[in-house]
Amino acid sequence: MGLGVAIMNVHIEMFQNLIRDNTLRIDPKYHSLQIKTGWNIFNSVQKEMIELSEILVEKKEIFNYDDNTEYFGIQTGSKYINKFGDIRDSIIVTKEEHPQRLKYKVSSGDILISSLRYARVPVITFSGKNIDLNKYVFSNGFYILKVKNNWNTHFVFRLLKTKKLRAVLDNNLATGIGISNYKITDLLKIKVPNVPLEQQDYFVDSITPLEKEIELSKTQLLDSQEIIDKVFFDEFNLDVTILSELPRFEVYNISFNEFSNNKDLRNSAKFHKRKRIFIEKEFHKLTNKKIKDFLSEPATLGFSAKSNYFDQESTSQYISMAELKNWNINTTDVKKLKEEYLESAKRTNKIIRKNDILMCRSGEGTIGKVAHVDETNEDVYADFVMRLSFKNYSSKFAYYFFRTTYFQSLIEIYKKGLGNNTNIYPKDIHEFPLLDISLDRQKKILEEIEQIFIKQDKIISNIDRLNLEIDENLIKILI
């Protein structure tokens, strides 16, 4: 009886909270945050508490595109900004040709925070960085925030970077299935102590030596794509710079005979550009073998599951494209398949095996991304994921080969569809080239790549340690 009353009390409080929320949100995680903390997520005992809405204001300044001018478009995701908040890539956009989501202007004093759950690049600022922001246009996937007077911008930036605040955004405030996000109004409800400006300034000064050490360490970091490309291109005498020199826009003539040089009679301009011809000629110099020649069985798509197939108390993980988007298998928010549907997946051979490679076969930003299976526990791969199993070939070597710019460029060229609904299929991947070299040579190249990554991981661990020290020092001020 006592247990029943306790549960009833919790639900009564939650229904009372529903009235206070203007969206009548029914989400236990969201309302438990209010009940347990009252938005005081740092459990501060200080008397004067204020909401982040008194510190920050959302800014929505529309970017002004000039005619006949190219700009750098920055979207959310680690492809464009690394985990340390530095721009690593962009898409070239113009007034005439740009995605509608690329629409906002950012100034050096602004703070950008990703609206997406589990964002690898959650908080960014360009303050103090040598970058001409007039040339950059940012996605509406970022919330752009301006710090009000009497608050040190860098102090607030560090506050938004704390692990505690990010955990609340991901675990309590985010909504939606699949790609989920949170509302800016919820972020601005979070309460923090009203820290005097002098104390903020003192804190920022005190962490300067740590941040200088972080910046020094970052200069020793190499982009993972550059590492993989350099090892492969040096080993096989390839040149990635030629790819970048090929024009993005070109006018060329093509004969009708050339439309018949592929199974699907592809006639798109993208498919027949010099880029594809160049890459395929380069690969042809090295090998006449294809991926299908090294597979133990044909590549297949995974198990199709409906919403009622899942039970988080089960043990079998359902690996979808969302788990593969960072070039590895991330099971932080993975769904788990009910036992009866696991048996169905087994009967249709949709179980992941050790040393398999899983490839995303759809979606802009994920298509072509791969992950290597180091271990598995009767996990199942999803219908938008492709499984490749190798024989007499190093799957880990193949994994890194698939990550090269050359191979990923072929994915980009061969994919079909419009907008975000692009796809590539097993029959396409089967025909892609794969280097025919000895297992010993594969092992040598693999060891060279992994030794570089081991050194990089040590540098990253040191940066993470320094950031954690800053985080812990800030928490002492907030509690």
3-state secondary structure 35-102: HHHCCCCCCCCCCCEEEHHHCEEECCCECCCCCCCCEEEECCCCCCECCCCCECCCEEECCCCCCCCE
Instruction: Give the rounded distance of the alpha carbon of 341 from its chain centre.
Output: 29
Query: Average pLDDT for residues 353-366, to the nearest whole number?
Result: 91
State whether 27 and 84 are in the same domain: no
Which of helix, strand or coil describes residue 334? coil
pLDDT at position 419 is 67
Residue range of the domain that includes 176:
53-206
State whether 19 and 64 are in the same domain: no
State whether 11 and 75 are in the same domain: no
Which residues does residue 139 pair with via DSSP β-bridges, in sequence order? 102
Q: Does the CA dihedral 73-116-25-363 come out positive or negative?
A: positive
Q: Would residue 283 count as lying in a domain?
A: no
State whether 26 and 145 are in the same domain: no
pLDDT higher than 80, residue 241: no
Q: Would residue 155 count as lying in a domain?
A: yes
pLDDT tens for 268-303 read 656 656 778 888 889 999 999 999 999 999 999 999
State whether 125 and 23 are in the same domain: no
Q: Would residue 403 count as lying in a domain?
A: no
Boundary residue ending a domain (184, 206, 228): 206
**pLDDT bucket at 89, cuts 50 / 70 / 90:** confident
What is the spatial distance between Cα 230 and Cα 240, in angstroms, rounded to a whole number?
Answer: 9
State whether 88 and 144 are in the same domain: yes
Q: How many domains does the chain have?
A: 2
Q: Would residue 172 count as lying in a domain?
A: yes
State whether 66 and 195 are in the same domain: yes
**pLDDT bucket at 62, cuts 50 / 70 / 90:** very high
Q: Is 341 exposed, middle or buried (0-12, 13-18, 19+ CB in 10 A)?
A: buried
Boundary residue ending a domain (206, 233, 251): 206
pLDDT at position 187 is 95
State whether 149 and 97 are in the same domain: yes
pLDDT at position 6 is 40
Q: Would residue 198 count as lying in a domain?
A: yes
Query: Average pLDDT for residues 112-132, to the nearest whole number?
Result: 86
CATH code of the domain containing 95: 3.90.220.20
State whether 64 and 176 are in the same domain: yes
Q: Would residue 421 count as lying in a domain?
A: no
pLDDT higher than 60, residue 84: yes
Contact status, residue 162 vs residue 470, Cβ threshold 8 Å:
no
State whether 113 and 199 are in the same domain: yes
State whether 12 and 82 are in the same domain: no
What is the spatial distance between Cα 195 and Cα 200, in angstroms, rounded to a whole number?
Answer: 7
Q: Would residue 389 count as lying in a domain?
A: no
Q: Would residue 216 count as lying in a domain?
A: no
**Of the candidates 416, 158, 167, the residue with the CA atom closest to the CA atom of residue 270:** 416
Q: 372: how many CB neighbours lie within 10 A of its CB?
A: 18
Boundary residue ending a domain (187, 206, 225): 206
Contact status, residue 320 vs residue 416, Cβ threshold 8 Å:
no
pLDDT higher than 60, residue 13: no
State whether 133 and 201 are in the same domain: yes
Q: What is the pTM of this model?
A: 0.79
pLDDT higher than 70, residue 248: no
